Structure 1
Amino acid sequence: MEKSMSRNPNMLRTLIGLGLVLIIILGYAVHSNTVDSEYYMYETTNSEQKNELIQLEENSSEWYFVSDNAITWINTTVEGAPQGTTLVIDASGTEWYHTPSLGQDERDFNCKEFAPDYVDLIETCIRGSFHEISLDEQNIMIGLVSTELPIGGLGSIQADNLAEANKSVQEILDENTKTISWKISLKDSNGEIISSEGVLINSTITTHELILVEEFKLDPIQESIYSFATLVGCFTLLLILPMIAYFSAVYKEKRDEEVRLRTPELEIKDKE
């Protein structure tokens, strides 16, 4: 390779020219994708709303409430319940997700798909119309009603234009806006409803309403600089070895030529 490059310096010019052309082409591709994005960001409210619980019977630990919003979270906390009490929440009109680690930092959880290869690392949510927990282990039940709504209030969607993005986001909200009747019960070890005396219960839901939809944008100048610097760095690494080989070959050839010029020619005399 050294000999080829030393004898043909146009090879180095070709490599440098090819690298610059690729840098310009890839830089333009990154820049065009940054400016003309097919992704849109949307923002919704992420409001926690306290539920007005209606007691079914006096001195009975059974309550209900009705929701008609697009909901992600439902949180229910119980205090003052006797030992051996079970909290049961039943939803009429939808199925929702629950697992003891849901919404907590103690362990990872997954409510969107079942991952059998990671059951020891990730806790999978259970989907159903009702769930229950023992209040001896924890006094709060956290449930996830919808996995399609943006949990933090921010989401993204792919669309051809802003009008289509608005329509798609509104469809997501409409599909997840349901009228749900919730029933909250406290039962003893025999499955009987306990007395509500001394029991404090609090229930909240997180609701979502559309605020705005806008095209996903980045700073084109900043992104172009970053992408150009990255591409230059990559192609520089690719050109370093050929350039080192070329210049070392040229240097070696010049040094050999200087040594040859400094070496006196030996005269060969015929033996008499």
Structure 2
Amino acid sequence: MAGPVAPAGRTRIAPPLLEIRNAQIIYDNAVEAVRDVSLSVPEGSVVALLGSNGAGKSTLLKAVTGTLHLEEGVLTKGSVHFAGEDIGHARTERIVGNGMVLVPEGRRLFANLTVDENLTMGAHLKSTAEMKRLKQMVMELFPRLAERRSQISGYLSGGEQQMVAVGRALMAEPRLLALDEPSLGLAPLIIDSIYQTIGRMRREMNMTIFLVEQNASRAMEIADYVYIMENGRIVLDGPAEKMRTNLDVQEYYLGFSGGDGARKSFRDVKHYKRRKRWLS
């Protein structure tokens, strides 16, 4: 596996901020969920991990954020390094302290708190001046949150809640932002807004982003490098531009045939798992 290269316009290859090496993850001492997976996220880049439900994406994300043990999962082989430190068996608080922050699937806000209070929870150890500066930054990224600042988070729309979740993570000033299915359950216009903001974070803040998604087309628009995962393994990887033109990816993940460009239904393409084209 060649691994990610530097984002367009950079003259050197950035060192990996996050690196997973030959990881095997087992649940309940019996079920192998991830097998021999390696990937890296260079500093300043956006790296996308794509795959269907059950592919192993969330398990891998739990391994890098220190939450595997909550579901009886164990990294049995390989290693996970962040900023040069082995975090394969580290607890979440240590990983967050080192600068990696997760925006989880389903947002998981403090539903009874206001937008402003949720943002405060993301930076509760910051000084008053830092808190004010960071909240202003979040409000500029998500102008709608400025309008909803005093509203209870549990009553916001799904898209607004996602904005709060991302904003809360940014309050910690992460070195790496991990996003788990940020488009899940959202309307297309809201997905557009979320992805535009992710693009701004990358361009204006030089944010390193590890993006775990099922929405392959949107993820590949913004990513520098893409990994595709199936049945607990990385089956294909490469620069996002190259992956967008890969016929297998077009057919099986973007829903287009290689010949006439007509969109194919799931019924037409679901046979790909039996073809084992990537699992040889």
What TM-score range do you get, normalising by the shorter chain? under 0.3
TM-score, reference length from structure 1: 0.21
Q: Which has the higher contact order (CA 8 A, sep 6+)?
A: 1
Structure exhibiting the larger radius of gyration computed from Cα positions: 1
TM-score, reference length from structure 2: 0.21
Q: Which has the higher helix share?
A: 2
Q: Which has the higher strand share?
A: 1
